[in-house]
A and B are shown apart, each in its own frame.
Chain A
Amino acid sequence: MAVWRAARERFPVVAFSIALLAAWEAAVRLLDVPKYLLPAPSGILNALIASMATLVAVHTPVTLAEAGVGLLMALAAGVVTGGAVHAFPLARRTVYPLLVVSQTVPVMVLAPLLVIWFGYGALPKLLLVAIACYFPIAVAVVDGLDSADAGMLKLLRSMGARPWQQFIMVKVPAALSSLFTGLRVAASYAVMAAVVAEWMGAEAGLGTFIVRSAHSFRTEHVFAGIVLVSLYSVGLFVVVDAVRRRALPWEIYLREDTWHRQDSQHRAPVEYPSQGGSWE
């Protein structure tokens, strides 16, 4: 039932995408476009299938490892510095303004510099991913910790809670939603940063595959690489969202009103007793 509903909801976008691909295919064939300029979707699919073995076995693990490990490094660094900025007024006045400003700097321009400093190994790739992902995470942590409800903290103080108890009981949970929002943005940067870093020179990875194919005008293979990069980027995004749902189970109920209108099946997650106990 729910599956059928979901399918029906997605039908327009799926149909539209298929129509676009069909138009592309037809245009390329009818206009006889050279395939090194713009290959047809069928050609891209063939290239994808032909290179699938090396793509999956050789290039994918490298790129995904760079993106994943870099993202985790950014997470660790972002949580630590975000916590420090929240806790120490001096850090807030010195580090935080730089954090906010540096968000607007396109960190990809650092790639050549990282090559000069660290060569062609894994380190500069991890660093570029980590730097790209770090800023949205750090800022999200600071914002999340700052957004903790003053009234809740007051209530805890009235109960005699110590500062660390206030931190664990209110600030951390309040910061988690914000952290995951930052993590989502960071996840969409991670694969891209890994690919850009590989362009600077690498043994393997999807970025390497794409530039090598481009140099030899195998445009179908360039597209095949792009397709995979996009898939992995979306995949990482989905993983972050899945972890969020596991880690913050209460959030779906906060949106209950909207959910209710869409699908009544999402309601009544607890077994309500017919009577409110001894109340009546």
Chain B
Amino acid sequence: MAKLSVRQLTKAYVERGRRLPVLNAVSFEAHAGEFVAVIGPSGCGKSTLFEIVCGLLAADAGTVEVDGEQVMGRPGWVAYMPQDDLLFPWRRLIDNVIVPLEIKGMRKEAARARALEWLPVFGLAGFEEAYPSQLSGGMRKRAALLRTFLTERDIVALDEPFGALDAHTRRKMHSWLADVHARLGRTILLITHDVEEALVLADRVIVLSRRPARVVFELAVDLPRPRDVLSPAFAAFKGALLERLADGKEGIASPVPDGVGPPWAVRLPATEGGGKR
């Protein structure tokens, strides 16, 4: 059974009598420990999809299930990292990252002690007393990420966690997130605009259409880890994905494992000898 199962989500915003359809029967699944990237044009409804998955917003139709349980409109199942880091400017870094622990009722000292152990892993050691406004953009993102991981849910939804970072920092964050994923084994959903980011990190890439978003195709990334962006296999995947994004055609008919996703989902074979490091 899938860890997270999203079926036929449809959503339209209604504002001053005007209806803006945003999601059009979006379905996908994520298995326990799987890393799923979601790619789609700007404004197509990715953040809306995540808000629904996190229980912050109810869809007009469709279901969201975690471990087979209906969770639509009920927050608390998925650890959510919003598109903006949303650190509280009045809390020092350490007190920002323990917010989810405090909400669960953990005492401040205990929560701080727990978070302190994680700071080095997130490259934040020594900055626990700094206010968010004293941190660089990359550090703020990492702090927001640590806060998300301290939310301690099996499923993690990251909305463009590395947008607005320079290429170098971004690359470091990628290898770091891949490492955290391998160590903690959480199910991760990641929104990104960056094809390379998706291919470096994800087991599967879900491509959404323009608004109203529907799943255009899915791509299983059968590349060994750690991913090598310079390998020919990686380049092949990237080329295929970019081509598919550019021509806008919906994928060739090719079944995906256990019937997940639409029938046109595409699955590229791993190229032999690729992805070594």
Which size bracket describes the interface of A in this complex? 20 to 34
Residue from A151, A160, A161, A253 with most neighbouring chain B CB atoms (10 Å) = A160
B62: shortest Cβ distance to chain A, in Å? 19
Q: Is B76 a contact of A155 with CB atoms below 8 Å?
A: no
Interface flag for A29 (CB, 8 Å):
no
Interface residue tally for chain B (C-beta within 8 Å): 39
* A269→B126 contact, CB < 8 A: no
**Known interface pairs A155-B80, A161-B103, A169-B99; A253-B133 also in contact (CB < 8 Å):** yes
Known: A169-B99, A256-B133. A278 touches B78 (CB 8 A): no
Contact A278 B121 (CB under 8 A): yes
Judge if A37 is at the interface, Cβ distance under 8 Å: no
Q: Is B84 an interface residue (CB 8 A)?
A: yes
- Asked if A97 CB lies within 8 Å of chain B CBs, one says no
A203 at the interface (CB under 8 A from B): no
Provide the residues of chain B in CB contact with A278, threshold 8 Å: 120-121, 123, 125
10 interchain residue pairs of minimum CB distance:
A279-B123, A277-B125, A273-B126, A160-B76, A158-B80, A277-B120, A173-B90, A276-B123, A253-B133, A159-B100
Chain A positions within 8 Å of B104 at CB level:
160
For residue A165, which residues in chain B have a CB less than 8 angstroms away from its CB? Answer: 103
Q: Total A-B pairs in contact (CB under 8 Å)?
A: 92
Which residues of B come within 8 Å of A, CB atoms? Answer: 51, 54-56, 75-76, 78-80, 82, 84, 86, 88-91, 99-100, 102-104, 119-127, 129-131, 133-134, 139, 151, 172, 176
Does A250 lie at the interface of the complex (its beta carbon under 8 Å from any beta carbon of B)?
yes
In the assembled complex, the Cα of A250 lies from the Cα of B233 at a distance in Å of: 49
* Residue of chain A at shortest CB distance from B136: A276
- Chain A residues contacting B119 (CB-CB under 8 Å) are 277
Residues 244-280 of A contacting B (Cβ, < 8 Å): 248, 250, 253-254, 256, 269-273, 276-279
